[in-house]
Structures are given as structure tokens and as C-alpha cells.
């Protein structure tokens, strides 16, 4: 089944918030408010997209990309969040994003941060050619504990290789 990315519309925001707040996702991201998602739709520096099955139009997740106006051609993959896991949709989406960033946008760098505890996402990014740049140690307060973020990136010449 083919996954298609399309721009998020205001009527998609409840789905986005539901996926974001699902127990299996919530611990790996910092959920946004509905208002922040709505604001992102009109922000020229952000691309907010719904991932859906091309054949049925059924949504399986969403993507947020930032840095569209970055003068250094460095694009941030802010979020890939899946409602349906284990079907290869995340990998398909990531490959589409890499193509879009490096081929269509002529980006020099594509990067993201990943919670150190998010083994599934980190594994995917590493298997798709991303490199670990470093760790922001205990930079997020979560209740009474702190969490670390890993920074991963890919450069255009690594994508071309």
C-alpha cells in the first residue's frame, strides 16, 4: 500500500492531536495544543502534512517539517508521528521526506532530535543513513526526572551516496 503526503487542513487537527496524545506516542514527543497546530498551518517556515494510504485516503500519521526559510539550507524534521505502527509506513514517509528535502528543496542538511528512549525511531533513522551528532543531556524535564535528546542528521552528499 502506498503512503501519500498531503498538506494538513484545519479539519485534520483533531486527528493530529489524537495521534499525538495516544499513550504509545505521547511519551516520545512534546504534544502541541490544537492552537499551535492551527498556527503552524499558516506559518511559511513550517510544512504540516498528513500521511494517508493513497488507495483509501485513510490517515496513518502526520509529519511536521520546519526550516523551510532557513538560509543555511538546513531542514528540521520536527515530527513523524504514526497512528499505525509496524507496517513500514514510517520508513516510506521518511524516504519521501529525504527525497523532498534533498532533491526538490536542494537542502544541505536534514536533521531531527529524538528522545534517547525512542529506540524504534532512532533505529529507523540510523538504518536510513542518518548519523548521530550528539546528545543534549537531560535537557527535558519530565515530572521528577530529566530526559536526553539525541541529534541525528544527514547531509546532501550522504543522501546522494
> What is the extent of the structural domain holding 76?
3-160
Number of separate domains in the chain:
1
94-133 per-position pLDDT tens digit: 999 999 999 999 999 999 999 999 999 999 999 999 999 9
pLDDT above 70 covers what percent of the chain? 99
Single out the residue of 19, 5, 3, 15 nearest to residue 49, CA to CA. Answer: 5
CATH number at residue 28: 3.40.630.30
pTM, whole model, 2 decimals? 0.93
| Of 94-98, 139-143, 154-158, the least confident | 139-143
- Cα 147 to chain centroid, rounded: 19
Amino acid at each position: 500500500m502506498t503512503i501519500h503526503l498531503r498538506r494538513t487542513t484545519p479539519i485534520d487537527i483533531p486527528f493530529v492531536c489524537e495521534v499525538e496524545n495516544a499513550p504509545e506516542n505521547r511519551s516520545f514527543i512534546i504534544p502541541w495544543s490544537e492552537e499551535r497546530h492551527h498556527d503552524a498551518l499558516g506559518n511559511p517556515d513550517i510544512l504540516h502534512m498528513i500521511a494517508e494510504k493513497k488507495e483509501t485516503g485513510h490517515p496513518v500519521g502526520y509529519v511536521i517539517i520546519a526550516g523551510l526559510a532557513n538560509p543555511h539550507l538546513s531542514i528540521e524534521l520536527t515530527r513523524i508521528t504514526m497512528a499505525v505502527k509496524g507496517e513500514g509506513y514510517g520508513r516510506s514517509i521518511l524516504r519521501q521526506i529525504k527525497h523532498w528535502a534533498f532533491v526538490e528543496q536542494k537542502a544541505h542538511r536534514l536533521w531531527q532530535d529524538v528522545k534517547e528512549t525512542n529506540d524504534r525511531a532512532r533505529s529507523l533513522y540510523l538504518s536510513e543513513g542518518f548519523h548521530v551528532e550528539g546528545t543534549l543531556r537531560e535537557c527535558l524535564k519530565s515530572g521528577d526526572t530529566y530526559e536526553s535528546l539525541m541529534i541525528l542528521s544527514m547531509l546532501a552528499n550522504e543522501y546522494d551516496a
